[in-house]
Chains A and B, each alone.
Chain A
Amino acid sequence: MNKKQINKIIPKLFFFISSIVIFISFGLFFSLIFNTLGFFNNVTLAQFFFDSTWTPLFSQPQYGISSLLIGTILVSGLSILIALPIGLMTAIFLSEYAHPLLAKILKPVLEVLAGIPSIVYGFFALTTITPWLQSLYPDQIEFYNALSASIAMGFMIVPLISSLSQDALNAVPNQLRTGGYALGLTKWEVVKGILMPGAKSGIIAALILGISRAIGETMIVAIAAGIRPSTSWNPLEAVLTLTGYIANVAQSDVDQGSTAYFALYAVGLILFTFTLGLNILGRRFISRKAKATYV
């Protein structure tokens, strides 16, 4: 083969390889769609939306997705309630206040927290956080409960929120900062009056992407949150989340052709849709930040 042919073939070959991404994306999407349609051959939409609980493995199965949504919203909401304030405060502290020495300790700690596998957080929730909560709320808390999983998940998401918020704070032009100081403002007044408004879009993006991460997280809830679908919003009780159900079916000997198995695809499709929507929204907010700051 001569040089000219190579110059023609190689880019085509590389294009061909790149298109694998298209196949994977559509494969993911359509395997969820088609099997979800299979699920709805046996279950009506009315059942799916209005049944009061989610018990596909019972002899009188119920397919009320709302009870899985309660579990997912409860756990991800609580974990964000922990991760957002801590993550944001960490970002402000690191980018504006921290002594370089403190930053040198804090940054690697956040990197390590971000790199710890979720199964380790799950184990930590079940063997350390849950016993601690049991001593705080004796007799009121179940062994498998939403709160324990949420606390562990919250600290898992702190690094994500803090790094995205830090990016947002750093993107505020330095002239605005120094301008504030020139007017005699204190650091906090600069943060509150100039940086936070300037970084607003980026911080919202951090929040949205944090929620998306929490919704998709599986192992922590599979280990620490239990498998009983909830009908109440009590975080001291067990919950079943969208991801929890998928993991549960994957672990049990559910017959692959059964409705309970096909239910996994409907749950997966909802999970996929939610996280995709949030991620697209989050990326929009990130790019809006870049545009807004450089006007």
Chain B
Amino acid sequence: MSNNKKRRLKNKLIAIFLGIFSFSSVVILFILFSSILVTGIGALDFDFLMNFTSRKPEDAGILPGLVGSLMVVFGALLFALPIGISTAIYLQEFGKKNKLVSLIQTLIYNLAGVPSIVYGIFGATFFVATLRLIFIATGSSITTGRVLLSGILTMGILVLPIIIVTAQEALKTVPKSMKEASYALGATEVQTNFKVTFRFAFPNILTGVILAIARILGETAPLLMVGASGFITFLPTDFFKGFTILPALIYTWTFRPIPGFKEIAAAAIIVLVLLQLIISSVAIITRALLQKRYE
């Protein structure tokens, strides 16, 4: 075999080799989904969505986890979106290039890499303890800070860096000509930032919201630290009640040695992944519709 042929053969073989290794991810994903579907699909029915947890796996359901997860998602977004978007606008538009702005920027990058369980420690130390002190000071009947509000605030600060960074990226894509046109029409800096820059960037800011929702729905460890429990038997009707989330139920059920719990844990995973898909696709469709409006 000539040298050239050898080289070309080697290239072909390596291409096949790389392809095979790349597709190991596809294989793993397939095994993962199919094993969870096979294990969990039998336990999935309407009662499962509407029941509370129980000692018997056949009676157990995920209602408090479902409601808790949704409340944490919306609560955390309600907290993090205004702060995150305002911070992004300040850093990208209002802020002058000074040391303080670059300090804030560095801190945001560093916060984005902090492991989520460290946010859990902070939540348990700061939010849970502070709320407890407030409850005691106000003579409230609640004796613990391990309540829904602690979970919401902890997840809120956890997704804040994600929201800020994606919002900044979105603001960067606004063409300079749009802003200049706005100034040329006599608009002030504030008007330009609110009515031109922010509006133009808004569809892309939603990307951060999509990422944040997926992250909040899947996070387990920090919420376990601030009080989410797999044994809650009531709905979180206000911010100062104990709560649970879908992943906490999955975690608790995974360790139950009684037959049947593994199956309902898998069923809860199916619901969790579907929920992620549904909420994300609503956001993705909204983004697409908004983007169309600007074209």
Contact = CB atoms under 8 A, between A and B. Distances in A.
A256 to B, nearest CB: 9
Contact of A124 (B32, B113, B160, B217): B32
Nearest to A251: B224
Given A90-B22, A109-B26, A27 B126 contact: yes
Interface in A266-282: 268, 271-272, 275-276, 279-280
A126 B266 CA distance: 12
B103 interface: yes
Contact of A90 (B8, B21, B125, B219): B21
A220 to B, nearest CB: 10
Interface stretch (A48-56, A93-101, A232-240): A93-101
A7 B110 contact: no
B83 A20 contact: yes
A63 interface: no
Contact of A158 (B25, B115, B119, B122): B25
B265 A115 contact: no
A117 B22 contact: no
Interface stretch (A134-142, A172-180, A193-201, A242-250): A242-250
B218 A247 contact: no
A98 B23 CA distance: 11
Contacts of B83: 17, 20
Given A10-B190, A21-B104, A28 B117 contact: no
B21 A123 contact: no
Given A21-B160, A86-B24, A187-B11, A31 B126 contact: yes
Interface size class of B (residues with CB under 8 A): 35 or more
A202 B276 CA distance: 31
A11 B29 contact: no
Contacts of A24: 111, 157, 160
A89 interface: yes
A7 B191 CA distance: 9
Contacts of B120: 246, 250
| Most-contacted residue by chain A among B251, B265, B273 (CB, 10 A) | B251
Contact of B35 (A27, A97, A128): A128
B47 interface: no
Contacts of B190: 6-7, 10-11
Given A31-B125, A112-B29, A251-B224, A223 B251 contact: yes
A141 B218 CA distance: 30
Interface of B: 7-8, 10-11, 14-15, 17-19, 21-26, 28-29, 31-32, 35-36, 39, 82-83, 86-87, 89-91, 94-95, 103-104, 107-111, 113-122, 124-126, 157, 160, 164, 188-190, 214, 217-221, 224-225, 247, 250-251, 254-255, 262, 265-266, 269, 272-273, 276
Interface of A: 3, 6-7, 10-11, 13-15, 17-22, 24-25, 27-28, 31-32, 35, 85-86, 89-90, 92-94, 97-98, 102, 105-106, 109-110, 112-113, 115-124, 126-128, 155, 158-159, 186-189, 209, 212, 215-219, 222-223, 243, 246-247, 250-251, 264-265, 268, 271-272, 275-276, 279-280, 283
